[in-house]
Amino acid sequence: MSNNSGGVWDAKSRQVYRRLLGYSARYWPIGLIAIVGMLIDGGGLALFNQMLKILVDKLFRDKDAYWIFWMPIWIIGIFYVRALGTFASDYGISYIGRHVVQVMQRDVFSAYLKLPAAYFGNEPSGQQVSRVTYTSEQVASASSDALKIAVTDGFTVIAMFAVMLYNNAYLTLSLLIMVPAIALVATVVSRRYRRISRRIQGTMGSVAGTVEESVGAHREVRIYGGQAHESARFGAVTQQTRRLNLKIAATNAASGSTVQIIASTAMAALVYLGTRPQVINQISPGIFLTVLIAMGTMLASLKRLTTVQSNIQRGLSAAEDIFEVIDLPAEVDTGTSVLTRTRGDLRFEDVRLTYPRNNFEALRGLDLHCAPGTVTALVGRSGSGKSSLVSLLPRFVAPTQGRIVLDGNDYQNYTLASLRKQIAWVGQNVMLFDDTVGNNIAYGELAGASEADIVAAAEAANAMEFIARMPQGLHTPIGQSGNTLSGGQRQRIAIARAILKNAPILVLDEATSALDTESERLIQQALQRLMKDRTTLVIAHRLSTIEHANLIAVLDQGRIVERGTHAELIALGGHYAALHRMQFNDSPGQVRG
């Protein structure tokens, strides 16, 4: 992570900085205009400052008629031009900043779309959200602030120094006290900054995550009385954020006050130098005032300049976090051959799977052949590895050992995209999008489907029955993650989506678990027609739904312990027969109606 030992500008920072510049490089013409605006801004101030000498000496001491006429016009002129400069610099910087934010957000988001499934389990989703909403904003605001201060105030300091030197080199000596001391303050401040910024980003993620979880689980919170627990948790993360932000505020405030103290000393030195008996008669009031005010202006700029480092640090640590995610390797796709349409001859050969996160071996040497056009049912206790086995198919996870052979080829040889095109999937947790019913069925690559096809799929999934009753039919919006629908309705939409995809491999993981027996029977009939020319893998706890499967495999602790047809397994009198007895004799309540 951040490296504080090697000073502020270590190699890593320089690298991040250069990459960040790359993001704004294409907006260089606007950047140039903005910088010219900043120079006009600072220059206008310097020019006005120089006019002060004339104001005091020529207008009020000498009563010079020429200047009495021209001075108001000059003032208006200077500030009108300066206003243009300020506008160009402010708007130009924001223009670049907003574009950079958008590009960063897009890059992070597209990284999320291509990262491997394992990544999402490892990082809290709050962090992932706040990286897009908060961290990328930080990059732009911090770096545009930094640029603006560095150029405008940097130039102002130089211009004021020139004003002072031009008017009276002797008085300028007072700066010798101020400048080194302020430089020291700036270095000390920026050291503290970077680490704190990093930690703030982390806590912003925790805040987002906590809110997301508590809002998402609002029912559980109410029923189980989790309010106190949730507020305590939220209190703790916001307290942490506040503490870190206050640390930064304290650093800024302390540096501000220190600069002020240093400045007053320098100011006193200026007055002391200007009032020595040898010089007091040689310096006109106008010159003295001009130098004094130039010094005051320089001071304000120097004070802002001490925060430049901290802004840069804030931007850099935000950018670093973003680049780390953008640079993460995408899903491995070593496959080269493109699978057009598989025959659906699927073979699992001694497949083992260990989840890296907890080193848990979910599949322990499993052989299974699913012949084209057949239905293979996976049954077994909860946690026996059924979902793990089917999640290997679209290569969400790769087998730790053994291989999966599709049409006689190791499935790793196929490109990910073409492999996934072969699979229609109804998962254990149905995910829907904030869109219309129709667009949820014809999702992604199915988006071009005709309305007739969508209706046919919805009919096969027994979904048309409730869709037709919705106010706008297929065009009814279903709210975020389909929260206006019942569990069974959501499942039927997912089934319709799978039917519409019309892929040669069909995976149904507890696809009808939330349905009543009547709807389930209707869908079974539709699926039966569908299953004829494809390879189907069905996972079901309700054994009545899989009795007709060509092959039933019983899983236990990551192994297949029994296999055969329904009749064979009943005759065998083992695990399956026992399960079946339990469901049909002892506890008929198991079959929901």
Ligand X SMILES: Nc1ncnc2c1ncn2[C@@H]1O[C@H](COP(=O)(O)OP(=O)(O)OP(=O)(O)O)[C@@H](O)[C@H]1O
Please give the residue ranges that form the binding site for ligand X (CB under 6 A).
121, 355, 357-358, 360, 362, 382-388, 428
Query: By the 8 A CB rule, do 93 and 124 touch?
Result: no
Give me 273's structure tokens.
Answer: 């130098």
Q: How far is the CB of 508 from ligand X (least distance, A)?
A: 13
- Min dist CB 376 to ligand X, Å, is 15
122 interacts with, out of Mg ion, ligand X, none, CB within 5 to 8 A per kind: none
Of 588, 569, 564, 431, nearest to 494 by C-alpha is: 431
Given ligand X, Mg ion, none, residue 131, with its beta carbon under 5 to 8 Å by kind, binds none
Give the whole-angstrom CA distance, residue 563 versus residue 572: 10
Q: Taking CB within 5 to 8 Å according to partner kind, which of ligand X, Mg ion, none is near residue 340?
A: none
- CB-nearer residue toward Mg ion: 257 or 428: 428
Min CB(549)–ligand X separation in Å: 17
Query: For strand 401-406 and strand 409-410, is the pairing parallel, antiparallel, or unpaired?
Result: antiparallel
Q: Which does 180 bind (CB under 5 to 8 A by kind): Mg ion, ligand X, none?
A: none
Residue numbers of the site for Mg ion (CB under 5 A)? Answer: 387, 428
Pick one of ligand X, Mg ion, none as the site partner of residue 67 (Cβ within 5 to 8 A by kind): none
User: What order do you get walking across the sheet with 401-406 strand by strand?
Assistant: 360-370, 346-355, 401-406, 409-410
383 makes contact, choosing from Mg ion, ligand X, none, with CB < 5 to 8 Å by partner type, with: ligand X
- Residue 53 interacts, among ligand X, Mg ion, none and using kind-specific CB cut-offs from 5 to 8 Å, with none
Q: 360 contacts which partner out of ligand X, Mg ion, none, CB within 5 to 8 A by kind?
A: ligand X
Helix (H) or strand (E) holding 84: helix 65-114
Q: How far is the CB of 209 from Mg ion (least distance, A)?
A: 25
Could you tell me which residues are beta bridge partners of residue 539? 378, 509
Q: State the minimum distance, in angstroms, from the CB of residue 542 to ligand X.
A: 12
Which residue is at the shortest CB distance from Mg ion? 387
Q: Using the minimum distance from each CB to ligand X, give the nearer residue, 160 or 511.
A: 511
CA distances from 423 to 394, 427, 493, 497 (A): 7, 12, 17, 12
Q: What is the 3-state secondary structure (H, E, C) of 48-63?
A: HHHHHHHHHHHHHHCC
Minimum CB separation of residue 132 from ligand X in Å reads 24
Output 282 or 428, the one with its CB closest to Mg ion: 428
Nearest to 289 by CA among 39, 53, 541: 53
Q: How are beta strands 346-355 and 360-370 bridged, if at all?
A: antiparallel
Q: CB of residue 507 vs ligand X: minimum separation in angstroms?
A: 12
- Give the nearer residue to ligand X in terms of CB position, either 481 or 513: 513
Binding site partner of 440, from ligand X, Mg ion, none, Cβ cut-off 5-8 A by kind: none
Nearest approach, Cβ of residue 149 and ligand X (Å): 47
Give dist(CA 3, CA 141) in Å, integer: 23
Burial letters 11-34, b for 16+ CB under 10 A, else e: eebeebbeebeebbeebeebbebb
- State both tokens at 331: 């899903």
Residue 116 or 574 having the CB closest to ligand X: 116
Parallel, antiparallel or unpaired: strands 360-370 and 423-426: unpaired
Spatial separation of the C-alpha atoms in residues 414 and 431, rounded to whole Å? 26
**Nearer CB in complex with ligand X: 322/507:** 507
SS (H, E, C) 294-345: HHHHHHHHHHHHCCHHHHHHHHHHHHHHHHHHHCCCCCCCCCCECCCCCCCC
Which of ligand X, Mg ion, none is residue 388 near (CB under 5 to 8 Å by kind)? ligand X
Measured from the CB atom, is 121 or 180 closer to ligand X?
121
Token digits of residue 51:
């006019």
- The answer to whether 552 and 563 are in contact (CB under 8 A) is yes
- By CB atoms closer than 10 A (0-12, 13-18, 19+), residue 483 is exposed
Cβ-based nearer residue to ligand X, 386 or 501: 386
Q: Which amino acid, 539?
A: I
Cα–Cα distance measured from residue 426 to residue 446, given in angstroms and rounded to the nearest whole number? 15
Taking the C-alpha atoms of residue 284 and residue 301, their distance in angstroms, rounded to an integer, is: 26
User: Which residues are CB-neighbours of 580 under 8 A, at least 6 positions away?
Assistant: 543, 569, 570
Nearest-angstrom CA–CA distance, 267 and 53: 18
Q: How far is the CB of 368 from ligand X (least distance, A)?
A: 14
Residue written as token pair 């200047």: 67
Residue number with CB closer to Mg ion (178 or 430): 430
Q: What is the DSSP letter of 131?
A: I
- Of residues 118 and 254, the one with the C-beta less far from Mg ion: 118
Nearer to ligand X, 43 or 427 (CB): 427
Find the shortest distance in angstroms from Cβ 356 to ligand X.
8
Comparing CB distances to ligand X, the nearer of 121 and 216 is 121
Measured from the CB of residue 357, what is the shortest distance to ligand X in angstroms? 5
121 touches, from ligand X, Mg ion, none (C-beta below 5 to 8 Å by class): ligand X
Residue placing its CB nearer to Mg ion in the complex, 299 or 375: 375
358 binds, among Mg ion, ligand X, none (CB under 5 to 8 A by kind): ligand X
In the complex, what is the shortest distance from the CB of residue 390 to ligand X, in angstroms, rounded to a whole number? 8
The maximal CA–CA distance of the chain, rounded, in angstroms, is 121
In angstroms, what is the minimal distance from the CB of 541 to ligand X?
7
Partner whose footprint covers residue 535, from Mg ion, ligand X, none (CB < 5 to 8 Å by kind): none
